């Protein structure tokens, strides 16, 4: 057990060391480098650490994705106008998508409303995980590994089926340019200007996943909260998480970041990720019980 306590923080220590050597160390690297080994070795925090570990591990993998951001992505393989056409047929009218109508009618008030879930989703997700921990450490473990599983599936999809976002179409049409820089989009940049910050600009400037619109992980995160928290929430809580998921879905489309089908795919990935985590953890529990049962004993 002692070896495991030092083994699980090892990826964070190694990655932090690499960033120091490269001169690319950021505050979040330092935070993980310090907090992960610390929490792993504090007895009272160990259960919480185990539950949040997969979320932290995912953050490390997400940061490392910039080193493989172009793997499998060519101009011929990026989907844009074919996805737009399907979205227009299913959710639009006269060949136009919902986004084509929303963008000319965008207003600062709605920009600010949509910016709330987009600017806080990760903090809300972690906070919800900690709340789940107060109900059951097993519930947090399922939530954490489901979070990891659905994101891992999404990363694979982003490279197997790279998809450009609506903002890309509105800025560049159907021509795919792999050198295009990521952007927060006009709506969130207006929010930055109104608030006098560069929060969203800085956040998206670091993104390496330019053609990762399908599926929408922004939509998947609150959907996972609904699925993982359903049995632990009362009616008011259920209404709140459903409302949060609906607000995020609206924001993803309104901000021109995702097609409607991307949002629906995000819901699906949340369900698949949760069930994969549930099956994997159940199998581990069964294996541990079998190992603890003496041979010949009745079960």
- Give the pLDDT score at 285: 55
* Domain stop point among 21, 44, 71: 71
- Whole-angstrom distance, CA of residue 81 vs CA of residue 97: 11
Angstrom CA distances, 286 to 33, 84, 278, 298, stand at 33, 46, 12, 15
Tell me: do 245 and 130 sit in the same domain. Answer: yes
136 plus 44 within the same structural domain: no
Sign of the C-alpha dihedral computed for residues 49, 35, 9 and 43 taken in this order: negative
How far apart are alpha carbons 177 and 75 in whole angstroms? 7
Together in a domain, 111 and 67? no
- pLDDT for the residue numbered 47: 79
Domain boundary pick from 13, 44, 71: 71
Instruction: Indicate whether 290 pLDDT > 60.
Output: no
- Residue 113 in domain: yes
Report CA-CA distances (Å) from 255 to 68, 83, 142, 167, 237: 27, 17, 31, 8, 26
Considering the domain architecture, whether residues 20 and 159 belong to the same structural domain is answered as: no
Q: 67 and 88 share a domain? A: no
Does 49 share its domain with 139?
no
Same structural domain for residues 53 and 84? no
**Cis (ω within 30 of 0) for the bond into 61?**
no
Per-residue pLDDT, 153: 95
Tokens (6 digits) for 109: 């008030």
- Could you tell me if 31 and 113 lie in one domain? no
Residue 297 lies in a domain: no
Pull the structure tokens for residue 150: 């659905």
Give CA–CA dist 63/207, Å, rounded.
9
- Rg for the chain, CA atoms, rounded: 21
Separation between Cα atoms, residue 180 and residue 168, nearest integer Å = 9
Same-domain check for residues 86 and 157:
yes
Site of tokens 């800025």: 171
Domain that holds residue 233: 74-292
> Are residue 48 and residue 101 in the same domain, yes or no?
no
Total number of domains constituting the chain = 2
Q: Is residue 243 part of a domain?
A: yes
Residues 141 and 283 in one domain: yes
Quickly state the pLDDT bin for 145 (edges 50, 70, 90). Answer: very high
Q: What is the pLDDT of residue 291?
A: 52
Note the pTM of the prediction, 2 decimals: 0.85
Tell me the C-alpha distance between 10 and 18, whole Å: 12
């Amino acid at each position: 057990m002692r070896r495991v306590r030092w083994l699980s923080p090892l990826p964070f220590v190694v990655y932090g060391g690499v960033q120091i050597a490269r001169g690319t160390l950021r505050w979040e690297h330092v935070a993980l480098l310090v907090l992960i080994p610390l929490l792993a070795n504090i007895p009272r925090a160990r259960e919480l650490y185990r539950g949040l570990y997969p979320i932290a591990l995912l953050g490390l993998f997400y940061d490392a994705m910039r080193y493989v951001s172009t793997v499998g992505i060519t101009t011929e393989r990026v989907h844009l106008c074919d996805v737009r056409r399907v979205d227009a047929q299913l959710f639009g009218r006269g060949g136009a998508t919902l986004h084509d109508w929303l963008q000319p009618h965008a207003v600062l008030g709605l920009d600010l409303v949509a910016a709330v879930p987009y600017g806080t989703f990760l903090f809300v997700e972690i906070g919800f995980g900690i709340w789940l921990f107060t109900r059951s450490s097993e519930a947090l473990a399922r939530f954490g590994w489901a979070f990891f599983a659905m994101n891992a599936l999404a990363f694979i999809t982003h490279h197997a089926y790279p998809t450009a976002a609506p903002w890309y179409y509105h800025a560049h049409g159907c021509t795919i340019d792999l050198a295009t820089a990521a952007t927060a989009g006009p709506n969130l940049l207006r929010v930055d200007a109104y608030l006098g910050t560069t929060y969203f600009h800085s956040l998206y400037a670091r993104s390496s996943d330019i053609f990762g619109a399908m599926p929408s992980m922004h939509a998947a995160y609150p959907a996972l909260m609904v699925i993982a928290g359903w049995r632990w929430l009362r009616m008011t809580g259920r209404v709140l998480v459903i409302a949060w998921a609906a607000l995020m879905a609206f924001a993803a489309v309104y901000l021109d970041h995702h097609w409607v089908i991307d949002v629906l795919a995000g819901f699906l990935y949340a369900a698949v990720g949760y069930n994969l985590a549930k099956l994997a953890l159940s199998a581990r529990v069964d294996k541990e019980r079998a190992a603890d049962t003496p041979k010949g004993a009745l079960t």
